Amino acid sequence: MAGSGKTGSTSLRNKLHKMQTQKVIVSILFLCVPLLLLFTFTYLPFFKMVQFSFYDMKYIGKRTWVGLQNYISVFTREDCLNALKLSLFYLVGSFVQIAIALLFASILSFPTKGGKFFRGALYFPSLIGGIAVGFIFKFFFTHGFVLDTLLTWVGMDADSLPFWLKDKSINNWVLAATSIWRYMGQNMVLFLGAMMSVDPCLYEAASIDGANAWPKFRYIMLPSIKSVIVLNMILSISGSLSAFEPPYVITGGTFGTATYFVMMNSLAHEKGKIGLAAAMAVVLMGLIFIVTIFQQVIMKLIDEEAREERRNRKIQKQIRKQGIK
């Protein structure tokens, strides 16, 4: 009887061990598939891009090692530098976009007549594809089309209107405005989510103390959403560096509107400078990586400040309780 009991317990242990081994094997197999896909479609192309950036090459033909020459060209070629400078237009536009989104979010975070309709209407452009948005505004800003027609209806002379997409003094501002229209709703939704999480009791206490809308916004709402403000700013900076669809679809990068991405696309697919385009891509990834690190540092500082504020509030509450006693 004792021997049969030992045999049974041993077989049970063997079965459990076998089941655990099978689970480990299945887990490894399931893990290998996404890791293989990740390596094949993410890391391998990235490593090849870095490799190509050290060569003067085309898609077909001989490769010539040039070392860091492509990276030097990124910061010395006039067309590459101009493309990088154009990011400033989109950067300024992104700050305007954040300000408008913050304004609408502040209004719509409180009970407002037709609030749900306006939230949906303002967010709707974010759901439209970039190519579709490009074609919409291409016809909207083309000389003699929608915008010019509307302006003539209000009394402006059609001959005095500029070529919105050809005039180099305004065309990049026009393209930046299309980005504002498309992405403002996305920023607004992020702000709304943060604002809706603020404790309503804080607003009620402020109202009892006689505070109007501006002090409530400045001293209650703004400190509560500053982490989201920083997040939106960082996303806007990254987006301004990688602007592609508006200039590519609306103007084709002509008349001084070729952004960094458009120039990179032109060098790779039209001029056959694969190595230089790869170097531009690596530089762009480096800039976005720096912005990301900066974001992490700022968010960490904000979190530490928020913790310190919570500690101070707890201490003040304890002092008040002791004073009451």
Which of these CATH numbers, 3.90.650.10, 3.40.309.10, 1.10.3720.10, 1.20.1560.10, describes 78-324? 1.10.3720.10
Q: What is the pLDDT of residues 271-291, one digit of tens each?
A: 888 999 999 999 988 888 888
Phi, psi of 64 (to 5 degrees): -120, 125
Phi, psi of 142 (to 5 degrees): -60, 135
Give the three-state DSSP class for 89: helix
User: What count of other Cβ atoms lies within 10 Å of the Cβ of residue 253?
Assistant: 20
Give the three-state DSSP class for 297: helix
**pLDDT value, residue 12:** 67
Q: What is the pLDDT of residues 204-255, one digit of tens each?
A: 887 887 777 777 887 788 878 888 888 888 888 888 888 888 899 999 888 8
55 bridge partner residues: 65
Give the mean pLDDT of 301-324: 71
Token look-up 């916004």 returns: 217
Query: 309 Cβ partners below 8 Å, 6+ apart?
Result: none
- For residue 173, name the pLDDT band (cuts at 50, 70, 90): very high
**pLDDT value, residue 324:** 55
Question: For the chain, which residues make up each domain, given as ranges?
Answer: 2-52, 78-324
d(C-alpha 189, C-alpha 62), whole Å: 51
Q: Which residues of 64-99 are buried (b: 16+ CB within 10 A; e: fewer)?
A: eebeebbbebbeeeeebeebbebbebbbebbeebbe
Token look-up 């592609």 returns: 244
**pLDDT value, residue 153:** 92
Q: Residue 53 pLDDT > 80, yes or no?
A: yes
Token reading at 183:
């992405």
> Are the C-beta atoms of 85 and 165 separated by less than 8 Å?
no
Give the mean pLDDT of 53-80: 88
